[in-house]
A and B are shown apart, each in its own frame.
Chain A
Amino acid sequence: MENIESLHELLKRQTMDLHEKGHQVPYIVNLLKNTVSVESYVGHLRAFAIIYGTLEHQLSTLNQPEIKDFLEDYTPRLPLILTDLEYFNAKNVKDIIPAINNALHVADKILLYSVQNPYKLLGFLYTLDGSLNGGSVFRIHLSEVFDLHNNKGISYFSLFNEPYKQFWAKFTEKLNTKIINNQAKNDVLSSAAEMFNDLLSIYENLYPIDEKRLGNHITSLNPEAGNFPIPTNPLEIEAAMIAGLRCWDEFSFFEKRYGERGKRFSASDAVWLVTLHELSLELANNQVKWLAKYLANRGMPVITMEFQLRCMYEELVKFIPDNEQKYKTLLLVSEQLKNERIKIISSAIFEKSNSIFTEFCVQLKVSEEPMKNTGILIASSIADVKNGFEPSLQSFKTWMTNPELFSSNWIQAVENTYSAIENQI
């Protein structure tokens, strides 16, 4: 009788040589000899943050139940990696650009496979999570090199615990029993090997480090940000981050609607916005409008961008007063957005809009916690439509009146505020 190997056995067999190869890569050799540098380890975590960030997001948005079934008991790894990076105060550690590029290449493939052939994502997950089996060994060496305690800085590599083992046992069991189709089996096998080779390329770039290829990459602020320029001056980055946080504080719906992932995108958008001061006013304006439209489509009224640019100018000038003139471009673009906004709805109405909403909330005995500046956001979404940001209103209002998120009284208060403001224009 023919002895048919299970998919898990095939996967193990096919990656045996690659495992061997992995143990000879200088970065892994260093890690096992306790001579790894903080730059290399942080580079490793950053590359994994990019890959896991994209993979976990794509897996979470897939519609196929047969793929989703594999994620039973899976807990996202990205938060652990981000915690480890935070522990190492990684913002002061330069990025190893070639390793980042390798990881971004993997992220691109994840995006492609998520629409082309989602089974391949299972192969990627197999290799990534399978590497955690050796994570317990890495953890011991890392804790010795960096004098780490209570899993701080190594929470990702400490995942090799009971819940992980349960997940892994179920995952590999499902690989054996649920993937029957030969094409799907081959896809998992080929993508697992592909991911393994990509990991080897990443490791090869982590040591020795080419000093000329160290730099600041946007993915250190947001692993899912992709590829775009950020300022080289750390003070500008810090100012942008503070401006972003001020914006989140001012419009608290951000937190509720977009959560932690949204906060990371807000950070990467903020540091990109800083770079616009290097452009002419016309170009900077075009770029801001492009981003404002993109964000309006995703439910962010344009007043949030206007406010953020003003904060950014203020923070930048606080940090680097000598560059005040250069940063003025950001303020001018913000003022332009403001002028366009108040041409449609007067400042007086904007000033009243929060109290209009609050009054309706009181009248209707709304039970929800108020969200700061809701009235202003409603007014902005109305003005946005006439200023060429058409989707702002629909996208914002749809969320604000979603019965799965808000009580009927809240929804009524929002509807009433829309009507009241529209009647005053």
Chain B
Amino acid sequence: MVENLNNYDFNEFQSYLISGDYEKCSEFINTLLNEDVDIKQIYDGLLKKSLYNIGELWENGKITVATEHLASAIVETIMNDIYLKIIRQNKINKTAVLACTENEFHQIGIKMVNDIFEKNGWHVHFLGAGTTTEELISSIGFIHPNIVAISLSIPFNLPSFEKMLTKIRAQYPDLYIFVGGQAFLHGGFEILKKFQNIIYIADINELDEFLQMEMKDKN
């Protein structure tokens, strides 16, 4: 079993992504899965890290926005391809609703969160990107989830995020809300302190640990 992905693996995968070679990327990920590499390592150590790097290359003018888009699209397709291999079939009696902050259109992070919930046997309602606060609140109303998870990728959406939390809290004062995403690398924690029962989840490893602990507690 491969314990850690090394730089060689990482660079190889990233070069396939940048050249837009879906076949090679897919082959690479399938090899890792066959070698029993943990899905969290693949998501966090490979896919996320590659996309962050590729984002930086675009910011620095080294690649075009088109290349960056293609890399994201390939990662999303790969995640769809491997989805059935990683989710747990026997479900537990827990439900989560997942969404991006209003006006956000980056949903790869919240898709990873989706898969970790499902890997732990949760029922998940994935609303994803482009969800309005009203739509999210209405979904909470008929799904009655145990947890709502909201992703925030871009710091300048913090005001939208705060408005979203305020509106949810007004209707569901006790509901547990998990929050996370790349935006929090830049700050924004002062907003979280204004609300009760908000749990910041730094990455999918932390989420997985939390969900496994939760499961142990129930057993």
Contact = CB atoms under 8 A, between A and B. Distances in A.
A283 B158 contact: yes
B20 interface: yes
A297 B190 contact: no
B159 A275 contact: yes
A114 B65 CA distance: 11
Interface string A273-306: 0011011101100110010011001100000000
B190 A280 contact: yes
A115 B158 contact: no
Interface in A195-242: 227-229
B155 A279 contact: yes
Nearest to A114: B66
Which of B65, B67, B157 counts the most A-chain CB atoms under 10 A from its CB? B65
B20 A115 contact: yes
Given A283-B186, A297-B60, A298-B61, A115 B70 contact: yes
Q: Is the interface of A mostly helix, strand, loop or mixed?
A: helix
B14 to A, nearest CB: 16
Interface in B88-136: 103, 105, 130
A58 interface: yes
A287 B156 contact: yes
B69 interface: yes
A108 interface: yes
Given A275-B159, A279-B159, A297-B59, A116 B65 contact: no
A111 B158 contact: no
A101 B59 CA distance: 24
Interface residues of B, number: 25
Interface in B23-80: 59-61, 64-67, 69-70, 73
B53 to A, nearest CB: 16
B205 interface: no
Nearest to B73: A112
A169 to B, nearest CB: 30
A53 interface: no
A112 B75 CA distance: 13
B159 A280 contact: no
Contact of B61 (A111, A278, A395): A395
Nearest to A276: B156
A111 B154 contact: no
Contact of A278 (B69, B105, B159, B187): B159
Contact of A112 (B61, B66, B158, B190): B66
A108 B69 contact: yes
A272 interface: yes
A244 interface: no
Nearest to A228: B156
Contacts of A229: 103, 156-157, 159-160
Contact of A283 (B64, B67, B188): B188
Interface string A343-385: 0000000000000000000000000000000000000000000
Contact of A111 (B59, B65, B159): B65
A391 interface: yes
B66 A111 contact: yes
Which of B70, B156, B188 counts the most A-chain CB atoms under 10 A from its CB? B156
A413 B173 CA distance: 66
Given A108-B69, A112-B70, A294-B59, A279 B156 contact: yes
Contacts of A294: 59
Contacts of B65: 111
A116 to B, nearest CB: 6
A112 to B, nearest CB: 5
Given A283-B186, A283-B187, A287-B155, 8 more contacts: A115-B70, A227-B103, A228-B103, A229-B103, A275-B159, A280-B190, A287-B186, A391-B60
Interface of A: 58, 61, 101, 108, 111-112, 114-116, 227-229, 272, 275-276, 278-280, 282-283, 286-287, 290, 293-294, 297-298, 391, 395
23 contacts: A101-B130, A111-B69, A112-B70, A114-B66, A115-B64, A228-B103, A229-B103, A229-B156, A229-B157, A229-B159, A272-B156, A275-B156, A278-B159, A279-B156, A279-B158, A282-B187, A283-B186, A283-B187, A283-B188, A286-B155, A287-B156, A297-B61, A395-B61
Interface of B: 20, 59-61, 64-67, 69-70, 73, 103, 105, 130, 154-160, 186-188, 190
Q: Which 8 A-B pairs have the closest CB atoms?
A: A297-B61, A111-B66, A278-B159, A111-B69, A286-B186, A115-B66, A114-B66, A283-B187
